[in-house]
Structure 1
């Protein structure tokens, strides 16, 4: 009986579908690896820039201890400009004559 089962088991042929997906998966893996390498290089460049900026921030006087002149030196774009005053809330879109970027193109 055991020999009979063994013969039947060895004679059994199960049809397996052809592998049509492995090539696509390999291509996707190569593409993902290339994208990852690009992302790593871009991230390393961002890290260098952010470390430089961190050094600048660490050298700076704490905001609470700054005078208005020191603030104007450190942040010239955000400082009060007496020649070109702004209206409250001092955001660009709330100023007279503001044109959004989408509107400037039209």
Structure 2
């Protein structure tokens, strides 16, 4: 006989942490359906009610019919499907798990780099408090330097004399 489930085997709290914010509503609907199904299953008794065969024996006039039904009912076995997919799923999981771990390690490196960048940005003075001299001291290559590197308005590289696009082929004969 199949094992009776008394509670869901899904860790809903851990699963909810992995659900993106924009999919929370669909997740809650899915959880409600699953909980409703589990409640309906648990509302039924674990074993079917016992049949009072003596009562049927008294009320059924056909000789031997109740004994026939009783023997058929007692010999009835409802087959419970065998689990043939768990092993295959475990094999697939063990095949993709190293890739997941490698991806997590790679993403952790990117997260660490982003956190360093955020720390660097948070260490900067507030935008309202910074002035052009502070910017020039912090970023000498990016700041406007009208004395040593004069530029024309709008002060971007494309508008300066002698600008060559980075992907442009070298001119022949030069």
Interval containing the TM-score (normalised by the shorter chain): 0.5 to 0.7
**Paired residue secondary structure (1:46):** helix
State the Cα deviation string for residues 48-88 of structure 1 (Å, max 9, x = none). Answer: 33333333223211122212121123334532244263653
Larger radius of gyration: 2
Shift of 1:3: 0.5
Distance between the aligned counterparts of 1:72 and 1:66, measured in 2? 10
**Paired residue secondary structure (2:128):** helix
Identify if the C-alpha distance between structure 1 residues 4 and 61 changes in structure 2 by more than 3 Å, giving closer, same or farther: closer
Scaled by the length of structure 1, the TM-score of the pair is 0.55
Identify if the C-alpha distance between structure 1 residues 76 and 32 changes in structure 2 by more than 3 Å, giving closer, same or farther: farther
Structure 2 residue corresponding to 1:4, chosen from 69, 72, 75: 72
Scaled by the length of structure 2, the TM-score of the pair is 0.39
Q: Which has the higher relative contact order, 1 or 2, with Cα contacts under 8 A spaced 6 or more apart?
A: 2
Structure 1 residue corresponding to 2:101, chosen from 18, 23, 37: 37
Distance between the aligned counterparts of 2:107 and 2:71, measured in 1? 65
* TM alignment of 1:14-93, pairs within 5 A: 19=84, 24-82=88-146, 83=149, 85=151, 88=154, 90=156
Identify unmatched segments of 5+ residues in structure 1.
none
**Paired residue secondary structure (1:79):** coil
Identify if the C-alpha distance between structure 1 residues 38 and 73 changes in structure 2 by more than 3 Å, giving closer, same or farther: farther
Identify unmatched segments of 5+ residues in structure 2.
1-68, 170-174
More helix by share: 1
Q: State the number of aligned residues.
A: 95
**Paired residue secondary structure (1:98):** coil
